[in-house]
Amino acid sequence: MNGTRTTERAAAPPVPADIPGTPSGAVSGWRLVVTGISARARAARDLDGLWLTPGTRAALPDGALVLAVDVHDAPRRWTITALRVTPGGLEEAGRWQRRSPLGPREVTALRALLAGDAAGHTVRVLAEPNPAPAVCRSCGEALPAGQGLAHRTPAGPVTTCRPCPVPPFGVNPDAGRCADCSGWVTAGEGLLAPAPGAPGRYRPVHHNCPDQPLPGPPLRAATWCTECRTTIAAGTGYWDRGPHHAPGHCARPDDGLPRWSLRVPARESTDWAPGQVRRIRHTPTAGEPALPEGLPGGRILADTGYMTVLAHVLDTRTTSGGTFALVRAATWMEAVPLLAAEFDQALATRPDGGTFLARQVVERICGDTGWVAEITGHDPRHGLTRKFLRPQTDYDQADARGHRGVLDAWTLRPRRVYEVSSPLGPPAKDWRAVRARLGRRARVTAEHRAFVRVTAEGDIVEITEEEVQAWLAVALEWMS
């Protein structure tokens, strides 16, 4: 129980409090938020604390101890007041009248009033007495110096009389949510207003709150809604951890088909256009549900939700981060032509008794070597799993330095698909300098990459990535 109360107190917001001004008749006075009283303290100079100007408005922790001392003349006497900060403001906790300054008796009384966590108390000055004559920003009343409060705000001091609240003022330097309607206010387009429940903090506020405020910064370009996955027209939506339609403007499509967006692979052979049907690979991001099973052309590739499916392109858009496509699962009607083409490709690569081996030869150029990998399946990160094969190397035709004529050779089998990388000469003109700078293994030629397979006649032919995918889809069944 006690522990709970301590926690609540630590989390309690600071209380705005008016530190008493110097009363009429006093010749001087001082105010101190007491944070510590040592065991040997006997006088005012032995107190630890934070000094405040009389008449200041400050945010103080609940339970803080404020000491106010005023000196009067003729006869000379001291008025000592101990004040405690409560959620409702300052409360008098002790008062002494003396013919001498604060002494050991008052110090002992103050020590008894000091909160256990006083050493951690901090003070935030919200407003100070206005140093020069001013006019109340709220009610227009003329205020002689010291009669009003000059509030510390991000736009400089704003003076009001003591009872008047700070009205909206200035220009909001930062964007944020409106203190009145919670709608988004762009930097410089509104005013500043005191933040509710946070003394000394200011928030943007609209000049006139709109009927339908946007909850986040407006979107300038057209994009796709995170919630309904349909297009948001330029200048109509807002951003909140993703693009959204303006409240109440989501148009959830009634086809019931899952929609998502994806980055168009950089090495894609043809442009993506709305209306096309593509075979894509999809891994749900954290928190995103996996696509339902049984979609046209859908195949689950790993138990992480990684799958391949036929997608109908709805829209594309290119940003500095790449080209993106908004897609939905294809319907069976849309999927039929592609499924038929995949089936034809699968038939063409079907094992048909061909047993010829083929020899893939790649010449090294200035030390740059090629590689051959067998494609064995899908990999969620790299798209395809590759098994790199070891070459046989032939130096018979090599020139003296081995810059040309070194041949690496691999045996390729039918009923497999491979990826081949070969260096593409000639090397860069300054290739020796490149190696000298970046090391012996630095690449100095371009690279040619291709997917290949061996025909029944023993020829090596290039195939597309789509053919690789089609082959992988059926290969496991044929090979088992």
Strands 417-424 vs 407-412: parallel, antiparallel or unpaired: unpaired
Query: Binding-site residue total for Zn ion (CB under 5 A)?
Result: 17
Any idea of the CA torsion for 42, 45, 49, 51, to the nearest 10 degrees?
A: 140
Q: Which of 53, 138, 261, 316 touches Zn ion by CB under 5 A?
A: 138
Please give the backbone phi and psi of residue 240, each rounded to the nearest 5 degrees, phi first.
Answer: -155, 90
For residue 219, which of 236, 198, 196, 200 has the smallest C-alpha distance?
236
The 8-class DSSP code of residue 225 comes to -
What is the nearest approach in angstroms of Zn ion to the Cβ of residue 130? 12
Q: Which of 93, 125, 135, 164 touches Zn ion by CB under 5 A?
A: 164
* 250 is a contact residue toward Zn ion (CB under 5 A): yes
For residue 356, which of 431, 299, 412, 306 has the smallest C-alpha distance?
412
Q: Which of 50, 93, 181, 195 touches Zn ion by CB under 5 A?
A: 181
Strands (E), 43-147: 47-52, 57-60, 65-72, 77-86, 89-98, 124-129, 134-135, 142-143
Residue 405 corresponds to which tokens in the numbers above?
A: 């004529």
Separation of alpha carbons 123 and 193, rounded Å: 22
Which residues make Cβ contacts (< 8 Å) with residue 439, sequence separation at least 6? none
Select the span of 35-43, 74-82, 162-170, 267-275 touching Zn ion (CB under 5 A): 162-170
What is the nearest approach in angstroms of Zn ion to the Cβ of residue 164? 3
What is the nearest approach in angstroms of Zn ion to the Cβ of residue 224? 8
For Zn ion, the closer CB: 57 or 245: 245
For Zn ion, the closer CB: 85 or 205: 205
Select the span of 124-132, 171-179, 357-365, 421-429 touching Zn ion (CB under 5 A): 171-179
Separation of alpha carbons 245 and 228, rounded Å: 9
* 368 is a contact residue toward Zn ion (CB under 5 A): no
Residues 107-136 that bind Zn ion (CB under 5 A): 136
* 149 is a contact residue toward Zn ion (CB under 5 A): no
Q: Which of 27, 43, 112, 139 touches Zn ion by CB under 5 A?
A: 139
Contact 247, 212 (CB under 8 A): yes
Q: Which of 31, 151, 245, 415 touches Zn ion by CB under 5 A?
A: 245
Select the span of 157-165, 322-330, 332-340, 413-421 touching Zn ion (CB under 5 A): 157-165
Strands 57-60 vs 65-72: parallel, antiparallel or unpaired: unpaired
Select the span of 202-210, 334-342, 429-437, 466-474 touching Zn ion (CB under 5 A): 202-210
For Zn ion, the closer CB: 183 or 367: 183
* 193 is a contact residue toward Zn ion (CB under 5 A): no
Position of tokens 């008796």? 105
Please give the backbone phi and psi of residue 34, each rounded to the nearest 5 degrees, phi first.
Answer: -80, 125
For Zn ion, the closer CB: 98 or 162: 162
Strands (E), 286-382: 299-300, 307-319, 322-329, 358-363, 371-379
* 409 is a contact residue toward Zn ion (CB under 5 A): no
Q: Which of 26, 32, 222, 228 touches Zn ion by CB under 5 A?
A: 228
Chain residues binding Zn ion by CB under 5 A are 136, 138-139, 141, 161, 164, 178, 180-181, 183, 206, 209, 225, 227-228, 245, 250
